[in-house]
Structures are given as structure tokens and as C-alpha cells.
């Protein structure tokens, strides 16, 4: 495994982040524990979750699975850079969601209890809260840092100007501010390149891409369909119809390179500026095994240029839409 710092922080994380959203709803707990052990064996030390993960199992169920995993001992918690999130409503009652100081305090304590740990390495704002002032948010985070309950703060699904505003408010308080941004980013969806990536670079944030395979569209979807190994839901069918020609070219190019399409998609992200670690969310051990190959896959300039031809990127603002 290769490692890097998370943004401008001194925190060392693996270049693959293990996403846990499927743990509970799609992956049984015993299998989830086995996948996490394998991730550690591979050298993956960066695990990502959220307080709302659990779906039909109930919000918080995924964090509880992690908690029972850490409780097994064997330095499992000590080996893990643990990231979770706050924002989504946990119940229908007021103050059970978003980023008020009250909810941050309650939600953090609840996450710590579910995960059976006394601190979180990276506490991420799952979405921007347009109603709560940044002074209030940072005051709550500063208190949590002073209490030793979190070490770093990160954002998720922020616009570039949200990042800049958050960082300026933190600077006025002499606070560290954000060290990471978790966003949708892959070869098909490259909107991040207009303003979020430049904002992350300028403010020293590491970018953690989610959905690196675009819901499986970059994982060899056409080949798997032909082999009868994949059934697409409505969203996947719509995406495949929209991007069919590009995906067809992409899979043919993967064959030319002699690599699996999913490996190339992950490797491409690892070549992008500011990207720290794409999140892989395996449902099975086999899916985790395949993701590891991307870390050592080096794409040369010609390969990167060809991928840009197939899936054109975005220019940095304002050149994307002005001179």
C-alpha cells in the first residue's frame, strides 16, 4: 500500500479509503468484519462511514458494526484512521440534523458510543448547512477538539466557495479548519474540476472522491452485461444509455492497456491533483481485492490524454465559462 498526508495535515492515510456504506444493508456483519481485517492486511488504514448509514437496518447500524469490530481488539481501532459524518437527520425531532452546535455535540457523542471509541480522527460535515453560521460550527468543533473527541474536520459535497468561506471563518478563530473534502468525482462526472479542486488545492484540503466507478459504469459494465453478471437498476440504465458510446470506447481502451476498467478508473483518480484516496465501497471480498491493484497502476501521459478524449474534463473557472 502507498500512503500520503491528508491535505496539509500531518495525518498519514492509505491511498485507498475503505467505504462502509454497504455494511449492514448489503453486506452481513461477519463478512464486513472479514473485509475490514483484509483491508488492514492490505495496508488500508483509512475507513469512512457516516452516522446515517444503515438504510433498512436503521440509521446508525453501520457505525454499530464498526463498533463491534473495534471491540474485538487486536489493535483494530489503533490501526484505523476513522472518519465519520454529521448532518443527516437521525430522527424526526428538531435539532437531530444539520450543523447546529447542539446537533454536533449530540451526534458526535452518539457516533462515539455506537463505534465504541473515545475519538474520531476525521469528523466530516456531510453537507453544507445554509442556516447555521460558521462561527457556531467552528465553536462546536473547537470544543470537540479540546475535549479530545475529534482530531480533524472535513467537508463533504461542498462547493468551492463553501470551502473558501469555511476556511476564512476558521482562520479568524485561529482554528485549523477543514483538512479534506469528500465529493463525487470520477471519469464520467468531472464537475469538481471547475472550482472545488482549485479551492481544495488553494486551501490545503485533500480530496476524497466517492463513487469512483460511477455506480459501476466504469467497472466493465458492458462486458458484465454480455456475460450475464450484471443487472442494472433504473439509474444505471439511464447512465449507460447516456454515456454508452464513451463507455464502449473506454472498455476497449482498457483491453488495449491490459487492465480491468475499474482498476483504470481508480488509478486515474490517483493521478489527479489534490486527490488523497478514492473511496471503494466493497460488498464482497472480491471487490476489495480488485481495488488494490489500482494503487500500483501507473498511467503514462498518452494513456491519460486518451482518457481525456473519451471523457472530456472541465477547465478551471472562469475559463470553463468565460475567457
Architecture of domain 3-215+262-300: Alpha-Beta Barrel (3.20)
Catalytic residues: 53
What is the rounded CA–CA span in Å between residue 137 and residue 94? Answer: 17
Count of Cβ atoms closer than 10 Å to residue 293 Cβ: 15
CB 126 within 8 A of CB 162: no
Residues 269-317 have pLDDT tens digits of: 999 999 999 999 999 998 899 899 999 999 999 999 999 999 999 999 9
Answer yes or no: is pLDDT of 152 > 80. Answer: yes
Strand 12-14 and strand 3-5: the pairing is antiparallel
**CA-based nearest residue to 137, from 110, 105, 112, 163:** 105
Determine the pLDDT at residue 229.
66
Mark out the alpha helices in the chain (DSSP H runs).
29-42, 61-70, 101-114, 134-146, 160-172, 196-202, 221-226, 234-257, 261-270, 285-292, 301-310
Determine the pLDDT at residue 312.
97
Helix (H, G, I), strand (E, B) or coil at 269: helix
Residues 30-61 have pLDDT tens digits of: 999 999 999 999 999 999 999 999 999 999 99
CB 179 within 8 A of CB 9: yes
Residues 212-258 have pLDDT tens digits of: 999 999 999 998 887 776 666 777 788 889 999 999 999 999 999 99
Q: Which residues contact 9 (CB under 8 A, 6 or more apart)?
A: 152, 176, 179, 206
CA-derived radius of gyration, the chain: 20
Q: Is 25 exposed, middle or buried (0-12, 13-18, 19+ CB in 10 A)?
A: middle
Determine the pLDDT at residue 227.
75
Q: What is the mean pLDDT of residues 128-135?
A: 97
Determine the pLDDT at residue 236.
76
CB 180 within 8 A of CB 124: yes
Task: Give me the half-sphere count of Cα atoms (radius 13 Å) on the Cβ side of residue 30.
Answer: 0
Residues 234-247 have pLDDT tens digits of: 777 888 899 999 99
Answer yes or no: is pLDDT of 117 > 80. Answer: yes
Residues 58-88 have pLDDT tens digits of: 999 999 999 999 999 999 999 999 999 999 9
Amino acid at each position: 500500500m502507498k500512503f500520503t498526508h491528508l491535505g496539509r495535515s500531518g495525518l498519514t492515510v492509505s491511498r485507498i479509503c475503505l467505504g462502509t456504506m454497504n455494511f449492514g444493508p448489503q453486506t452481513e456483519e461477519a463478512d464486513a468484519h472479514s473485509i475490514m481485517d483484509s483491508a488492514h492486511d492490505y495496508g488500508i488504514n483509512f475507513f469512512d462511514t457516516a452516522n446515517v448509514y444503515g438504510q433498512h437496518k436503521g440509521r446508525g447500524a453501520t457505525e454499530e458494526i464498526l463498533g463491534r469490530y473495534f471491540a474485538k481488539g487486536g489493535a483494530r481501532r489503533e490501526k484505523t484512521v476513522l472518519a465519520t459524518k454529521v448532518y443527516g437527520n437521525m430522527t424526526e425531532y428538531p435539532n437531530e440534523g444539520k450543523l447546529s452546535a447542539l446537533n454536533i455535540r449530540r451526534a458526535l457523542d452518539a457516533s462515539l458510543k455506537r463505534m465504541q471509541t473515545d475519538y474520531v480522527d476525521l469528523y466530516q460535515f456531510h453537507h453544507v448547512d445554509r442556516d447555521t453560521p460558521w462561527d457556531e460550527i467552528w465553536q462546536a468543533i473547537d470544543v470537540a477538539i479540546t475535549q479530545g473527541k475529534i482530531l480533524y474536520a472535513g467537508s463533504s459535497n461542498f462547493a468551492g466557495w463553501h470551502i473558501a468561506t469555511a476556511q476564512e471563518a476558521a482562520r479568524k478563530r485561529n482554528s485549523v479548519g477543514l483538512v479534506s473534502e469528500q465529493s463525487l468525482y470520477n471519469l464520467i462526472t468531472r464537475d469538481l474540476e471547475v472550482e472545488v479542486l482549485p479551492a481544495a488545492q488553494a486551501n490545503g484540503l485533500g480530496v476524497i472522491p466517492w463513487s469512483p466507478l460511477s455506480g459501476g459504469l466504469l467497472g466493465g459494465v458492458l462486458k458484465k452485461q454480455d456475460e450475464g453478471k450484471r443487472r442494472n437498476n433504473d439509474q444505471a440504465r439511464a447512465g449507460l444509455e447516456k454515456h454508452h458510446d464513451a463507455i464502449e470506447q473506454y472498455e476497449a481502451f482498457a483491453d488495449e492497456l491490459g487492465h480491468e476498467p475499474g482498476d483504470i478508473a481508480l488509478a486515474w483518480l490517483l493521478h489527479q491533483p489534490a486527490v488523497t484516496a478514492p473511496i471503494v465501497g466493497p460488498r464482497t471480498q472480491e471487490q476489495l481485492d480488485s481495488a488494490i491493484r489500482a494503487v500500483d497502476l501507473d498511467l503514462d501521459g498518452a494513456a491519460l490524454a486518451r482518457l481525456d478524449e473519451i471523457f472530456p474534463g472541465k477547465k478551471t473557472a472562469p475559463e470553463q465559462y468565460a475567457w
